Amino acid sequence: MSEEKLLEVTNLKQHFQTGRHSIVKAVDGITFDIKRGETFGLVGESGCGKSTTGRTIIRLYDATDGSVKFAGEDVHGKKSRSELKKFNRKMQMIFQDPYASLNPRMTVKEIISEGLDIHGLVANDEERTKRVQDLLETVGLNKEHATRYPHEFSGGQRQRIGIARALAVEPEFIIADEPISALDVSIQAQVVNLLKKLQKEHDLTYLFIAHDLSMVKYISDRIGVMYFGKMVELADSEELYKNPVHPYTKSLLSAIPLPDPDYERNRKRIIYDPNNHDTSEEPEFREIRPNHWVLCTTKEFEAYKEELNN
């Protein structure tokens, strides 16, 4: 992992108009960056805006406000076709549901080669077939699978096809939106191991969105915790699990059941009450320790600091 920032998200906002006078602030001013070669985990409960963040970064939605810079260039705003194409090639997405994200009427080869054709990466069909077969082998499938349709595959195999499709255009950055939550436990490990292997071989950077915190801790270098459209805490994954500071992070961590009966018998759940926050001023994102950020007011900042030092 280098120190170079591959993706910089600044004060990103995504608001949806849901009625004449009602607006849902799905993402409400979040700032973070992702370094080249790292895996950044984004966790939170459903409705906290983690998926919206991913989708906004890759321009599936137009951001309400804020900026997203990829390798120093602004992703949002008006873009010409060729500029967009360039971004699309560098940034790819793996979706949650391997059943819904593959077109059932296309063969695996068609699905994977669509991106190759759009970006003109192959000259003829022979090259296309070769490339698709290579990709299938990279993700642990056989080259015979190229002529089949998605319904002939199991969930884990389909997710591999989705990964092959994302890899086809040789991206630098992959957004994985809950890539394993629809899979069985034993298959989840296969896919996670594959993602880790591909990261090493292709020098990929991941934004890994999930609600399964133990898996996120395992795969991520740094983790951001979201709550109601805001990022409440951001730290190295070890640090976040050892020294959670924000009460919401604490409550989230204390709620995860672990596969260890002895631990479970003694686990005490911490309940988060948003009303306990200091409301004297608007909370800000502050650095409480090197590389450990937390959303808090000045007063809370002092209190958290004290708590960390004890």
Partner 1 sequence: MMEKILEVKDLNVTFDTYSGSVKAVRGVTFDLKKGETLAIVGESGSGKSVTTKALMGLIPKPAGKIPKGEILFDGKDLTKLSDKQMSKIRGRDISMIFQDPMTSLNPTMKIGRQIMESLIKHQKMSKDKAKERAIELLELVGIPNPKDRIDQYPHQFSGGMRQRVVIAIALACNPKILLADEPTTALDVTIQAQILELMKDIQKKTDSSIVFITHDLGVVANVADRVAVMYAGKIVEIGTVDDIFYNPKHPYTWGLLGSMPTLDSAEEELIAIPGSPPDLTNPPTGDAFAPRNPYAMKIDTEMQPPMFKVSDTHYAATWLLHENAPEVDPPEAVKRRMRDFAEGSMEKGDRS
Pick the closer one to partner 1 by CB: 124 or 266.
266
* By CB under 8 A, residue 130 contacts partner 1: no
CB of 241 to partner 1, least distance (A): 6
Strands 284-289 and 5-17, by their bridges, are: unpaired
Nearer Cβ to partner 1 (147/193): 193
CA distance 254 to 256: 6
Residue 241 as a binder of partner 1 (CB under 8 A): the answer is yes
Q: Which residues of 256-275 are buried (b: 16+ CB within 10 A; e: fewer)?
A: eeeeeeeeeeeeeeeebeee
Confirm if 241 and 284 have CB atoms less than 8 A apart. no
Between 260 and 282, CB nearer to partner 1: 260
Instruction: Count Cβ atoms within 10 A of the Cβ of residue 6 and give its class: 0-12 exposed, 13-18 middle, 19 or more buried.
Output: buried
Q: How many residues bind partner 1 (CB under 8 A)?
A: 39
- Least Å distance between CB 65 and partner 1? 28
> x/- binding map, residues 137-156, to partner 1, per CB under 8 A?
-----------------xxx
Among 51, 52, 133, 188, binds partner 1 (CB under 8 A): 188
Q: Which of 157, 159, 220, 249 binds partner 1 (CB under 8 A)?
A: 157
* Rounded distance between C-alpha atoms, residue 293 and residue 287, angstroms: 4
Q: Which residues bind partner 1 (CB under 8 A)?
A: 45-46, 154-157, 184-190, 192-193, 196, 211, 213-215, 217-218, 238, 241, 251-252, 255-264, 267, 269, 272
